[in-house]
Amino acid sequence: MSRSASSRANRRGEPPSSPEPLPSPAVDSHTHVDIAVGGEDREPTEAEVDEAIAAAVAVNVPRLVQVGVDVASSRWSAELAARHPNVLAAVALHPNEAGAGAATEAALAEIDRLAAQPRVRAVGETGLDRYRTGEDGWAPQEASFRAHIDIAKRHGIALVIHDRDAHDDVLRVLDEEGAPEHTVLHCFSGDAGFARACIERGHVLSFAGTLTFGSAGRLREAAAITPLDQLLVETDAPFLTPVPLRGRPNSPRLVPHTVRALAEVTGTDLKQLCASLTSTAERVFGSWQHEDPSAASGGTA
């Protein structure tokens, strides 16, 4: 989702209480802590951000991927990852921002520069959105997607894809450009057929709270046929709050609801699924541990 979409974020009602902690550490592979905590109008304080992350750690979610959607939020994400042991960052210009003309040469150069930072481990979210962006914006959106694929490959880091109503075109562009080794379809929204096409290519499917929605039978079929080592789970907070809290504000600490739903859908032992989500996330994004021990701030993630 994009920052400009944050007015559509779930803001009704009090923040729900945290679910029961997971039996083993898991991961929120895609979240927007800046928007979830601060909203559209203001930047959250460091204390508020740390509190939201601590609440995730408390339910056994000690690994988060914080995702940028424009130059400002990508910088913010890179800075958070640099200072926080529980966070890695992804940086990009969101497809809806690109469709509106934001993917200028200068903006792409800044994303390229941020992608070189040691705790920036993915380029994303990039991709195609044919739902929010009208036909006029499709050409700049696709050009931006291609540029982001190139940045990810040059830096040897993962690619995180936003795909809204654009399944075939996303695969076409990936096939034409050559996908990076680690490519994630965030908030996977296809059916079993599209899942199969992604799985065959070695891509990783990340499921959001939509997996828990009553109407999401086809999504659950897609999850059920996905090999365990190609599965991730995310909140996309503040969006897409999982059942039974749908419509209330989403936050990384709520990802256990979706992890439990995925365990049920895939018939996997919950502990085993948590272990698999962590190892897949570390394969895709690398270790959360600070490379430089003198820079570590005591986290165990």
State the residues that interact with Zn ion by CB under 5 A. 1, 125, 162, 236
Q: Quote the least distance from Cβ 56 to Zn ion, whole Å.
A: 16
Contact criterion met (CB below 8 Å) for 208 and 199: no
Phi, then psi, of 212 in degrees rounded to 5: -90, -5
Q: Quote the least distance from Cβ 111 to Zn ion, whole Å.
A: 16
Nearer to Zn ion, 95 or 263 (CB): 95
> Which two tokens mark 238?
């503040």
CB atoms within 10 A of CB 196: 14
Nearer to Zn ion, 70 or 125 (CB): 125
Q: Is the dihedral of CA 247, 252, 254, 260 positive or negative?
A: positive
Q: Quote the least distance from Cβ 22 to Zn ion, whole Å.
A: 22
Computed on alpha carbons and rounded to an integer, the radius of gyration of the chain in Å comes to 17
> Which two tokens mark 155?
């830096």
CA–CA distance, 109 with 209 (Å, rounded to integer): 33
> Which two tokens mark 134?
């009208």
Nearer to Zn ion, 124 or 140 (CB): 124
Nearer to Zn ion, 1 or 89 (CB): 1
Nearer to Zn ion, 151 or 263 (CB): 151
CB-nearest residue to Zn ion: 162
Alpha-helical regions (H) of 164-253: 167-177, 192-200, 217-224
Q: Quote the least distance from Cβ 187 to Zn ion, whole Å.
A: 5
Q: Quote the least distance from Cβ 189 to Zn ion, whole Å.
A: 10
